[in-house]
Amino acid sequence: MNTFFFVPVLLLLSSLFQSCEENPEKNPIEIVEAHNKLLKKNDDYVTVNRGKIFSQELDGFNTTIDSLEQTVLKLLNKYKRNSEEIDAKILDSLLTETTFKHKRYRLLYPNNYHRFANFKKNAAVSKDYFENVMKGSFENPSLVQFKEYKRCMNFYFDILSAGKYKFSHLEYVPLKRLDNRYNAIVELDAHQSVKDFFIKKHFTSNIWTYRVEAFDYAFAKAIKDVKNEEYIKKIKDTYQMGKDRRNAASEIKAFKTVDGITLNAHIFYPENHDKTQPKPVHLFFNGGGWAIGLPEWSYGACQGAAKDGRVAIAFDYRKRNVYGTDVKASVSDALTAIAWVRENAKELGIDPDKILADGFSAGAHLALVSSMIENREDFGVTSKYSSKPNAIILGSCPYDIEGRDVYNVSYDTKTISPLYLIKDNLPPILAFHGENDDMVEFSEFEKFRDAIQKTKNSFTWRSYAGAEHFYFEGSSQKDSDERRRLTEEFLLKNGFKVE
């Protein structure tokens, strides 16, 4: 391993432990607090140094993680030796949390090694590496009460869902991973209560991430696979909730059917909408790395736009984790969606020359790239109606897709990368970006900004120091007010503000 790196690790770990080991108290609350504090310190250390830690070969990586784990175990043993009044169950629970916290680091190793090797090299681990890490973790139903156990198991199922790609970076795996994940839970050699719990969790957690149709396969099986009647009821209620939440939309219309997949437009009309009086339309494309996400994420924004006098529509598009598709399929769906709006302008009561495309992250990419693509036939779009929006709002947009889709891509990804498609006569654009974005690096935004500002296009932007990908979370009131003001000015200037 890298000795230069490991020596500072040992010094840091020694200081972390020393700050927590002196004079252990008998108060169980203080033990839990000391344990959690040390776990967080370790976690922060791994996060800050993840590139160095996960790029090591296996022996060096294991030495680092072993050292981190030992600091916590020494703390717990210190308390155990110095107090007879501490309930053994408390120490056992803290030991369980510690064990699975560090098991999760080990599960992360092959995927992150591949990532930090620029997707060119896989970690030198055995074929049963993941199974060995998790050995003995499936037969004790009481484990499901522990947070770190649940986190560890959820990531294990994510790994199993990746099939032949499980030793690679998981972000761009081109498989129907949601269904694969369900099958991984059912096929696990585990106590039935453990499987029941995670099948239930599969629904109750992921229903906020995927559209309800994505669960049709699992729902049909779960009623037979689950033995816990309480969980069956919870699964049924969750599935129904996924359908009922759509009642917030004024109506839902299919705009595309491809490969047996029906994609929907979730439409919100202004109050007392008179379709004979065309209004501007505000289109929303959700984020989620072209892999997860659902139109319902945009419902709040749609309601706000409708209240402001615009017809608002949130669109489905094909996601990698559900359909095994890549970014090009998502782009095809966005192009179709915008053309469909124009084709159905009269029925929707909208002005086909007042189409605003709005998106966050991957959704922002779809909104932007739709205005740039000329050869729509290459994306399977044959509509005679234009797919070019009349204005665009972007949040944390990926501007350079080249190389992002690292598995099974046979086309030039520059053809869907806005950075390489800049031309004159683009619609006016308003863009926001965090300067500490670790998902879409700020340098990527800067390259696009600098390039488009050399053209005659209208490009208004703001960036935020210290802000990450979700720049609006924890945003200062000043920054929030500025974004609101700029958005209002943009809408008014481009004819999307209904007086």
C-beta separation of 498 from 282 below 8 A: no
C-alpha to C-alpha distance for 352 and 80, rounded to whole angstroms: 72
87-90-95 Cα angle (round to 5)? 130
Tens digit of each residue's pLDDT (9 = 90 or more) over 125-140: 999 999 999 999 999 9
Question: If we measure between CA atoms, which residue out of 241, 312, 292, 286 comes closest to residue 498?
Answer: 312
C-alpha to C-alpha distance for 270 and 309, rounded to whole angstroms: 5
C-beta separation of 38 from 72 below 8 A: yes
C-alpha to C-alpha distance for 380 and 27, rounded to whole angstroms: 66
Q: Residue 334: phi, psi to the nearest 5? A: -65, -40
Query: Residue 234's CB: how many other CB atoms inside 10 A?
Result: 16
Q: In the chain, count of helices (H) and strands (E)?
A: 18, 8
C-beta separation of 481 from 464 below 8 A: no
Q: What is the pTM of this model?
A: 0.90
360-156-148 Cα angle (round to 5)? 85
**Helix (H/G/I), strand (E/B), else coil: 148:** helix
C-alpha to C-alpha distance for 135 and 138, rounded to whole angstroms: 8
pLDDT of residue 85: 61
Q: Residue 430: phi, psi to the nearest 5? A: -120, 125
pLDDT of residue 29: 82
C-beta separation of 323 from 395 below 8 A: no
C-alpha to C-alpha distance for 398 and 413, rounded to whole angstroms: 13
Q: Residue 40: phi, psi to the nearest 5? A: -65, -40
pLDDT of residue 27: 66
Residue ranges, the chain, pLDDT below 70: 1-27, 82-86, 405, 498-499
C-alpha to C-alpha distance for 166 and 125, rounded to whole angstroms: 12
Count CA within 13 A, CB hemisphere, residue 147: 4
pLDDT of residue 84: 63
| Contacts with 85 (C-beta within 8 Å, 6 or more apart), sequence order | 26
Q: What structural domains does the chain harbor?
A: 3-154 (no CATH), 176-248 (no CATH), 249-493 (3.40.50.1820)
Runs of H (alpha helix) within 422-476: 442-452
pLDDT of residue 403: 73
pLDDT of residue 16: 44
pLDDT of residue 20: 45
198 burial via Cβ count (<10 Å: 0-12, 13-18, 19+): buried
